[in-house]
Amino acid sequence: MKHFVFFVLIVLFATCPADADARSKLSKKEARKIALEKVPGEVVEFEIEKEDGTLVYEFKIRKEDGTLKEIELDAYSGAVLEVEDESEDADSNAAEEGDEADEVAEEETPEEAQ
């Protein structure tokens, strides 16, 4: 009996995928095709990760106009979960940092700096 249980465990472990990509229903190639149909351009970055218990393909795509988009796909169904404009995030972060620097500069008068 012990040998049977051991055999069953070996079979179970042998048939389990070794990584997240192997468990996904969509291949990277299929997911890439879906992403590029939704956001045409050049894939510049790819990740597969688990978000809130869902396996997700994430592509960063540079469009012809130079903007950068991030698209997330459900790795099992291929459903588009989110499309974000990464260029706006970078621009708004730079603008916020610039605003903070301006505020600090305005607070310090030339007399205070001496």
For 54-106, how does the pLDDT look when each residue is reduced to its tens digit (9 = 90+)? 999 999 999 999 999 999 999 999 999 999 999 765 555 444 545 554 444 44
**Do 69 and 85 touch, CB atoms closer than 8 A?**
yes
- Mark out the alpha helices in 16-85 (DSSP H runs): 20-23, 28-38
DSSP 8-state symbol, 33: H
Q: How far apart are CA 32 and CA 23, in angstroms?
A: 17
Count Cβ atoms below 10 Å from residue 99 Cβ, excluding itself: 10
Domain ranges of the chain: 20-113
pLDDT of residue 89: 56
Mean of the per-residue pLDDT values of the chain: 74
Q: How far apart are CA 42 and CA 63, in angstroms?
A: 6
The CATH number of the domain covering residues in 20-113: 3.10.450.40
Name the maximum alpha-carbon separation found in the chain.
Answer: 88
